[in-house]
Amino acid sequence: MAAGQLSLKGRALRLLSTREHSRAELERKLGPHEAEPGQLRRILDELQAKDFINEQRVVESVLHRRVPRLGAARIRQELQAKGLAQEAVAEAVAGLQSTELQRAREVWAKKFAELPRDARERGKQARFLLARGFGGEVVRQVLNTTDGE
């Protein structure tokens, strides 16, 4: 029984050593390896008490890695998929709104050299930005002008 617990705890620590994981992510990934009911909950409680699992660090990690390439909607989706608290997700996304247009322009400029010449190109560029989580109004502004208003 102790060997199984160490194995499960070892798996959790291995996952946490690669990047920040939320508790919900660890439950999803480690659930199939749980040998006895309640074992995983006890291990995650212990790791959380020792601050190995920290929601704020998960949010900061996602923002640090993804903000330069994605819009607020896509980041919100990723944070929610990690099972984070709604308040933490809402707070993180609210902080992105002020830089949304500038970030969209930077993402657009890396991919496209010039504004669309026809409707087909405009649609392609718009879909590119929308798929990365930028809002419709921001996409419209980027495609109407790319040099700071």
**Sign of the C-alpha dihedral computed for residues 135, 140, 143 and 144 taken in this order:** negative
pLDDT of res. 146:
52
The average pLDDT across 9-34 equals: 94
Distance between CA atoms of 35 and 4, rounded to whole angstroms?
A: 7
Distance between CA atoms of 100 and 45, rounded to whole angstroms?
A: 37
Give tens-digit pLDDT for 114-138.
Answer: 999 999 999 999 999 999 999 999 9
